[in-house]
Amino acid sequence: MLDIKWIRNHQDQVREAALQKGVECPLEELLEVEEKKRQLQHRVDQLRAERNRSTAKIAKYMAEKNRPEAEELKEQVRSWNISLAVDEEELGKYEERFKELMLTVPNLVSPQTPFGATDQDNVVVKVVGELPTFTFEPRDHMQIGEDLDIIDVPRGVKVAGSRNYYLKGMGLYLHRAVQQLAIDLLTDRGFTVMDVPLMVREDTLVNAAFFPAGKDQTYELDENKWLVGTSEGPLISYFANETVDLSHGPIQLAAASNCFRKEAGSAGRDVRGLYRVHQFAKVEQVIVCEDDPALADQMLDQITRNAEDILDLLELPYRIVAVCAGDMGAKNYKQYDIETWMPSRNAYGETHSSSSLLDFQARRSGLRYRDENGELRYCYTLNNTAVATPRILIPLLENHQQADGSIYIPAALRPYMRGLAAIPGN
């Protein structure tokens, strides 16, 4: 959320951000509603003040037994109360509409963000690792999973519907191993690791700027509860409406959690295998820091580097792309995606994402800190996918397959894989 005063004084920049991101933002209506709200608030405040002063006078007249003056003022107060009730009801409607419209305003776009409309316009900024060459006919991850009996999609579909799966044996071990590798790396780098609620209230997802736009991707439960699509929401809301202490540096949080997404609008896309599924697991990084743009850039580099280091430990080739404005979420100010090489696609596929939001989430969440002068300021927030599985299993299985049908296990994963150096072929 942006500050309304800033919006009023920088309307062209807001319109440009909405245009670049392809977001519908009724800015004119917002400003009209805000003006009317301010006028009504002023009138309500004046009426309340007049009523309070008159009420005090009535008490004084009654104490002095000046009944005629008291009755006259009582009649005036009754009249004000009628007007006040009408104005307060109208003010409530304008306040509600104002809140709705404020949620449509996107975050700004950083000067470093490429211009473009789709992921085809993203710009490659870094390429790491050599692409594998095979002396045999390579299999895709689904064929590998079936041959080794570690992935079962047909039974997942039978039990839970499309885009569901079972992981079995070493498939489960790989799934959990990459998570634990990420958790250990982040713990060693000073992150506080959490297990977070997966069912959250709607305001949690509004505060984290996933709603209202992301409702079509989110599973709704009863009693105003929603299943999270990432632990970013509950991590940000952990400090909602609090003043945090940043005197010792940025707060570094991480969570390992299951995640759930409807994948609405993706019919026909990536229907085979584990690339686009309804239930998955992520290890997420979240940073809360001072409102310093240079520090935010430094933190963005740091959390992206953490994800890169995990991919290096997994011995996988990848590249980093600067995400263009049109492919970037409405809440993001700057975004990088990490794409890992997937032989079966003969292309890089997105496996990680890093985002800087400046104070956009913090304003929604009421997340503040005191600066060196004791003044309250909104924090900056950032987030990154340290690892997401089972999607990461696609490049793991496909890049590390060997001629005898076995799967090479990177050294960093072996402590979490019962010491195995390879998953034997069948």
Residues 117 and 344: their CA atoms lie apart, in Å, by 27
pLDDT in tens, 115-170: 999 999 999 999 999 999 999 999 999 999 999 999 999 999 999 999 999 999 99
CATH of domain 119-423: 3.30.930.10
Mean pLDDT, range 189-198, rounded to an integer = 98
pLDDT attached to residue 266: 65
Q: Give the strand pairing for 318-322 and 123-128.
A: antiparallel
Instruction: State how far the Cα of 344 lies from the Cα of 346, in Å rounded to an integer.
Output: 5
The confidence band for 1, taking pLDDT boundaries of 50, 70 and 90, is confident
Q: What is the mean pLDDT of residues 31-59?
A: 86
Name the strand (E) or helix (H) holding 362.
Answer: helix 360-365
Q: With bands split at pLDDT 50, 70 and 90, how would you rate the model's confidence at 68?
A: confident
Q: State the pLDDT confidence band at 220, using cuts at 50, 70 and 90.
A: very high
Across 33-62, average pLDDT? 84
Please tell me whether residue 114 adopts helix, strand or coil conformation.
coil
| Listed range (230-239, 260-269, 395-404) with the worst mean pLDDT | 260-269
Mean pLDDT, the chain, integer: 94
Per-residue confidence (pLDDT) for residue 113, from 0 to 100: 97
Catalytic positions, please? 261, 276, 350, 353, 391
* Lowest-confidence segment of 34-48, 69-83, 172-186, 325-339 by average pLDDT: 69-83
Identify whether the C-beta of residue 348 lies closer than 8 Å to the C-beta of residue 319: yes
Q: How confident is the model at residue 195 (pLDDT cuts 50, 70, 90)?
A: very high
User: By the 8 A CB rule, do 115 and 322 touch?
Assistant: no
Quick check: 284 and 334 in contact, CB under 8 A? no
pLDDT above 70 (res 269): no
**Which residues share a beta bridge with 379?**
none
Q: Residue 243 phi/psi, 5° resolution?
A: -105, 115
Region class of 223: left (phi > 0), else alpha (psi between -120 and 50), else beta: left
pLDDT above 80: residue 230: yes
Q: What percent of the chain has pLDDT over 90?
A: 85
Instruction: For residue 77, name the pLDDT band (cuts at 50, 70, 90).
Output: confident
Would you say residue 92 has pLDDT above 90?
yes
| Mean pLDDT lowest among 43-52, 236-245, 324-333 | 43-52
* Tokens standing for residue 59: 């008490």
Angle ∠(385,420,317) on CA atoms, nearest 5: 40
pTM recorded for the entire structure:
0.92
pLDDT band at 265 (very low <50, low <70, confident <90, very high): low
* Letter string b/e over residues 80-98, b meaning 16 or more CB atoms within 10 A of that residue's CB: beeebeebeeebeebeebb
Query: Where does the pLDDT of residue 55 fall: very low under 50, low under 70, confident under 90, or very high at 90 and above?
Result: confident
More confident residue, 48 or 252: 252
Measured distance CA(232)–CA(211) in Å, rounded: 13
Confidence tier at 76 by pLDDT (50, 70, 90): confident
Report which of 394, 363, 388, 424 is spatially closest to residue 142, judged by C-alpha positions.
394
pLDDT at 244: 98
User: Quick one: average pLDDT of 102-125?
Assistant: 96
Look at residue 70 in the predicted model and tell me its pLDDT: 67
Considering only CA atoms, which of 369, 355, 363 is closest in space to residue 297?
355
Q: Is pLDDT above 70 for 83?
A: yes
Over 90: is that where the pLDDT of 71 sits? no
* Residues listed for the chain: 426
Average pLDDT rounded to a whole number, residues 71-94: 83
pLDDT (mean) for 205-223? 93
pLDDT higher than 70, residue 61 = no
82 Cβ partners below 8 Å, 6+ apart? none
| Residue ranges of domains in the chain | 26-102, 119-423
Does pLDDT of 82 surpass 90? no
Mean pLDDT, to the nearest integer, of 336-349?
Answer: 97
Q: State residue 315's pLDDT score.
A: 98
Residues 91, 68: Cα–Cα separation, whole Å: 34
pLDDT at 172 over 70: yes
Pairing label, strands 347-356, 334-342: antiparallel
> In this model, does residue 415 exceed pLDDT 90?
yes
